[in-house]
A and B are shown apart, each in its own frame.
Chain A
């Protein structure tokens, strides 16, 4: 199980930038000043990309920790986190 946790870390590491890439390309192809739908609105895309980029970075950090084996032994109590 610990090997699986580590190998999947690579997937999470790659998934972060992939999500941002899809969001940016989605924004480029859908922003339309003449459009009336939410997906044509640049303000919404700016908000979503701005909030999603740190989350994607978080997913990469999660992947990095997994790859480094940080999740191999999980704490058995919140006391261990102090």
Chain B
């Protein structure tokens, strides 16, 4: 509260703001999925370090990846990534200048769908390449 102002305007506190509205809760959840992206980057970074340490270390890392805990963790990561990707493309139409195609504005839903489709296609290509490389 501002006591120096004779009109005594009341300033409400912001503590816990994100719990006040389901929209904000969802925002915090989808922002938090970025932590899972960071976690996976760490997993890959550890792999790179193990690779530099020699064949035994590398094989040990591969072995660790095959453990049940690791598999469950990767399942969770995949789900978080998928949600992260969806929310990223969902907001994308709001973040870019109008896209004019054939004299008309491209609808937000189309932009989101194209983004998700591109991600799905890229993921499949990576999956196929990795599958081929490890056969």
Is chain B a partner of chain A in the same complex?
A: no
Q: Which A residues lie at the B interface, using CB under 8 A?
A: none
Interface residues of B (CB under 8 A from A): none
